[in-house]
Amino acid sequence: MKQELLGKLNTQILGKNVIYYENIDSTQLKAKEIKDIMKDGTIIIANSQTAGIGTHERTWYMGEGENIAFTLILKPQCNIAKISNITITIAECMVDAIKKLYNKQLNIKLPNDLMCNGKKVGGILTRKYY
């Protein structure tokens, strides 16, 4: 799977290091655990999660093999306050990308949900781990 991903990425940082799990408790928890030893742009991806984390610490449920669960480890070299709108920016980029690639219209339900035909198809959770 890692080679499939790397072969399709046109990026200098994001996804140059991919860690794949068939099953994991949470990609967010793993990122928090290994953030200090991983490179900027590392993607932690899983086929299934047993304890995914959503907004306000809510549980994020996903069926095995039916969803994509991943976490990006980013180490911005700027004042973190200057990127306070990053969640909505990511959502807007996802809407644009899905439209361009698949001609499907997504909508954003604030603060972080991606919706298609009135159903949630994704969520974006950004966290600061120091």
Question: What does the pLDDT read at residue 114?
Answer: 93
When the pLDDT of each residue in the chain is averaged and rounded to a whole number, the result is 85
Residue 119: pLDDT over 80: yes
Strand duo 69-73 + 42-49: pairing:
antiparallel
What's the pLDDT score for residue 101? 92
Read off the pLDDT of each residue in 94-105 and give the average, rounded to a whole number.
94
Q: Which of 70, 28, 64 is closest to 46 using CA atoms? A: 70
Would you state the CATH architecture of domain 1-75?
A: 2-Layer Sandwich (3.30)
Give the pLDDT band of residue 126 (cuts 50, 70, 90): confident
Q: Identify residue 3 by its one-letter amino acid code.
A: Q
Q: What is the pLDDT of residue 1?
A: 53
Half-sphere exposure of 12 (CA within 13 A, CB side): 0
Confidence bin at 130 (pLDDT 50/70/90): low
The domain ranges of the chain are 1-75, 78-130
Q: Report, as an integer, the average pLDDT of 96-116.
A: 93
pLDDT tens digits, one per residue of 28-64: 999 999 988 988 999 999 988 888 887 777 777 777 7
pLDDT at 2 over 90: no
Find out whether 54 and 29 touch, Cβ atoms under 8 Å. Answer: no
> Could you tell me the strand order of the sheet in which 119-123 lies?
107-109, 113-116, 119-123
